[in-house]
Structure 1
């Protein structure tokens, strides 16, 4: 018996008509999807979202290999985040060690974020062309060595130089980790797994803050945190080396071996030719994702990078209290990212992002005004619940919007270019706060970190809402069988692969399966 479907209008042509249509679709519970039948005939229909499933049943949908890839991807992203936050949570210690202002120290964060986009492009393209495994292994090993080099940087100039190189190699981790972790997940589980995966960033922060709490507030203890980070990164690289390549590349290599006549044109030339075609076709999507990721990177870095400094400076907490507050704040991020990422599979990616950003705006006064450790820890928890709740949607949202053959480079590059544009965020907050004073509860004149963070975060959250509302959404797109970038062959072979790749959402009867199309 066939399933009745409700016809929908095609995707509008042009930027403004498409934006208007996307905003209107936010207020419709069903999703507009393109489908095709076995005869190649395409049309648009309204498709109801899948019912909200028990998370345990979603976990059980992943087989052992899928869990293996997911855990390694999560570990890589967590270690990457630990390495980054090892600096941001110790800004005060490093300022004392190098006898510099806190703004000077955060210039290292700016340099790290600036160069991440270059690393994302280089290692992302290598990962799309040659596999997820070895680019990630090299990345993680070099990151560990650069952590060691940071420890032995005796001058501030050397410190900045090492952190710049660190940013170059740090940029290559995200795209490969996300693609490896999510590309073999069943469609129904991707929202939940995306939310968990993204919180590797917050988990890295929590581990770094716990280590900072454990080593105490003495100035030279910052080096211990960097030693721990070096061990984590090198360890993840060794673990990744022991496991096989991703399923996509194993199947691609098998196909090349079985059908060499279809791959005579494969190679670097075909890869770069395909890159150019992708950019010519998808440049609007590239620009949109870069704008979205610029807002998102401002969102996280403005609300978190100076938070420990805010507790130490404006609230005059001791190192232990500031570390505990930071730990609880990012624990909220882990919980929120997982829950809202899971809910996005049901309510939609854009609705989840917009709702989270709006809730974070409402929480801003409660986030910066309290005076006690308990109150600030509680409101910090819920603030980051929604900040990173919105972030929990991003890995799968970017993967679904990406051209299927570029799911390592496209999310990684757009994410890191957004990072590059937003790189001065922590430096801006510190510079404005250090030049603006207020009287705190104890009557002391202190740097106004709270008001600066509050105003900036409100503006950024509004920017996310305005950007996400008219944007595209391809929730449920199937991409796990997509061809690798640069894989040549005849047009007939390509058409056969596209028919395999482009979706598996069955919404028709026994005759002629219709599919949700993800253009290759």
Structure 2
């Protein structure tokens, strides 16, 4: 009897939950890379109409996910914005302090794997809550560190906690939303990253070095909002998409075995797609972190910006990021995911030089439009990754590919800082050492944008694929025709 159940369970998973993607020959795939860029020119309602199509529960899911992603970014950039005070506190160089960012990026993939699997097996709710609880503990811990070693230890553990959030938050925000609103919601959701950076910039100006505690109040404050986000999530149920999939698993009476079989088949059928998603996100991460993480240091050390000028420039840049994300997410519904990313990369590449070489406050214009393009292209990422991922491992594949991309690009700020110190500039009148960070960031960004553009051109697209799970009649014990999980089929193409 157990063998019969196990065999039936395997057949159920193979037939209904994880169908193998449609195959296409390598030659045909290569030949269609240009032709598939043709804009679908889908008729899309204005974004306000699309947003109005969400019901109350869908809005609450989205707002909760958006809030958590915003604060994830806030917590990450607390180090980026306090590099020089931290270096002074611990008696280290700027390059050594940037390891506090590098370790976070390196270990995010560990958190993505752990919390991604937990979220796909046990639901979005409790892994999300645990993530935010860890934010509270570790952000407080960072604020109380007294040695360089303990600072790095806290940030390393923080990386694991932060890595587990993205896939869960993206699934919570998008999987129950109407498909036609997915693009604009994707853009708004991803804009939470830039909004978090903007908030970190503003609060760092008000909290860093304005009291006897120096940089620490920024980290102490960062531990507070996750408490409210935890309460918010406690008041919400599981997403409908997850409950539907859980119901199918539970109908086999072997939910864990079914989940493991789903995972095996998903990786077997979609491993090449997963590899592509990691490479794709590596390019995006190189662009994002290469353009942002060391930029405050460039403005203050090389260009001599005052704290006020730095704050205004960063706020303007992040307003560009937010505007770009929302715009890209929405227009990708009209022109397609890949073409939108390619256009943003091409336009952004023309802005790299002024972004890194204009040494006056006029650089704010370059900062706005470059981040409109670089971070704006990120507005396509949540919906694009979600559509490329198989439903049974959606949180795992979205979160892990995103964070493995961060792992590959983890040393961006450290590379830029180390290379920049090889190009010294005349010191300030007070004897402070200066370095040509602009040259290094300019070259680094040009390479990153080119890499991302090529990866997008050769990659697949599954715009408009359904994310819902249909209940096959056979699973419920009735006769009838087979209905497959449309969340994993109906794609334009596969790799």
Q: Same fold (TM over 0.5)?
A: yes
Asked whether the 8 Å contact 1:368–1:451 carries over to 2, the reply is yes
Asked whether the 8 Å contact 2:208–2:215 carries over to 1, the reply is no
C-alpha distance in structure 1 between counterparts of 2:200 and 2:72, whole Å: 11
Asked whether the 8 Å contact 2:288–2:374 carries over to 1, the reply is yes
Change (3 A) 1:329 1:280: same
Say whether residues 1:290 and 2:278 are aligned partners: yes
Q: Deviations over 1:370-393 (max 9, x none)?
A: 2222x1112101110001111000
**How many equivalent residue pairs?**
471
Change (3 A) 1:501 1:335: closer
Secondary structure of the residue aligned to 1:481 is coil
C-alpha distance in structure 2 between counterparts of 1:465 and 1:502, whole Å: 26
C-alpha distance in structure 2 between counterparts of 1:494 and 1:410, whole Å: 32
C-alpha distance in structure 1 between counterparts of 2:460 and 2:493, whole Å: 13
Q: Where do 1:478-497 residues align within 5 Å?
A: 478-481=466-469, 496-497=482-483
Q: Where do 1:16-27 residues align within 5 Å?
A: 16-26=27-37
Say whether residues 1:242 and 2:235 are aligned partners: yes
Shift of 1:445: 7.2
Q: Where do 1:325-474 residues align within 5 Å?
A: 325-373=313-361, 375-438=362-425, 446-474=434-462
Tell me what 1:263 maps to: 252
TM-score under structure 2 normalisation?
Answer: 0.89
Tell me what 2:220 maps to: 227
CA-based RMSD of the aligned residues comes to 2.7
Say whether residues 1:83 and 2:75 are aligned partners: yes
Q: Deviations over 1:7-29 (max 9, x none)?
A: xxx97734454133123321x33
C-alpha distance in structure 2 between counterparts of 1:131 and 1:91, whole Å: 37
Aligned mate of 2:39, from 26, 29, 35: 29
Secondary structure of the residue aligned to 1:498 is coil
Comparing 236-245 with 434-443, which one deviates more in the overlay? 434-443
Change (3 A) 1:496 1:225: farther
Q: What runs of 5+ residues in structure 2 fail to find an aligned partner?
A: 1-20
Change (3 A) 1:263 1:338: same
Q: Where do 1:296-335 residues align within 5 Å?
A: 296-335=284-323
C-alpha distance in structure 1 between counterparts of 2:393 and 2:113, whole Å: 11
Asked whether the 8 Å contact 2:135–2:158 carries over to 1, the reply is yes
Secondary structure of the residue aligned to 1:184 is coil
Shift of 1:263: 1.9
C-alpha distance in structure 1 between counterparts of 2:427 and 2:182, whole Å: 46
Secondary structure of the residue aligned to 1:239 is helix
C-alpha distance in structure 2 between counterparts of 1:424 and 1:493, whole Å: 56
Tell me what 1:498 maps to: 484
Asked whether the 8 Å contact 1:353–1:465 carries over to 2, the reply is yes
C-alpha distance in structure 2 between counterparts of 1:517 and 1:498, whole Å: 17
Tell me what 1:512 maps to: none
Shift of 1:269: 2.4
Shift of 1:245: 1.4
C-alpha distance in structure 2 between counterparts of 1:108 and 1:197, whole Å: 26
Shift of 1:249: 3.1
C-alpha distance in structure 2 between counterparts of 1:472 and 1:465, whole Å: 13
Aligned mate of 1:98, from 68, 79, 90: 90
Asked whether the 8 Å contact 1:216–1:319 carries over to 2, the reply is no
Shift of 1:411: 0.4
Asked whether the 8 Å contact 2:355–2:366 carries over to 1, the reply is yes
Change (3 A) 1:430 1:385: same
C-alpha distance in structure 2 between counterparts of 1:494 and 1:420, whole Å: 47
Shift of 1:92: 1.1
C-alpha distance in structure 2 between counterparts of 1:471 and 1:445, whole Å: 44
Tell me what 1:215 maps to: 207
C-alpha distance in structure 1 between counterparts of 2:64 and 2:385, whole Å: 20
Tell me what 1:204 maps to: 196
Aligned mate of 2:127, from 109, 130, 135: 135
Change (3 A) 1:255 1:107: closer
Comparing 225-234 with 178-187, which one deviates more in the overlay? 225-234
Tell me what 2:464 maps to: 476
C-alpha distance in structure 2 between counterparts of 1:211 and 1:494, whole Å: 60
Q: Deviations over 1:156-177 (max 9, x none)?
A: 0011111110001111100000
TM-score under structure 1 normalisation?
Answer: 0.85
Shift of 1:237: 1.6
Say whether residues 1:110 and 2:102 are aligned partners: yes
Asked whether the 8 Å contact 1:354–1:465 carries over to 2, the reply is yes
Shift of 1:208: 0.3
C-alpha distance in structure 1 between counterparts of 2:432 and 2:146, whole Å: 34
Shift of 1:251: 3.8
Asked whether the 8 Å contact 2:245–2:392 carries over to 1, the reply is no
Change (3 A) 1:502 1:408: closer
Tell me what 2:180 maps to: 188
Shift of 1:224: 1.1
Asked whether the 8 Å contact 1:127–1:176 carries over to 2, the reply is yes
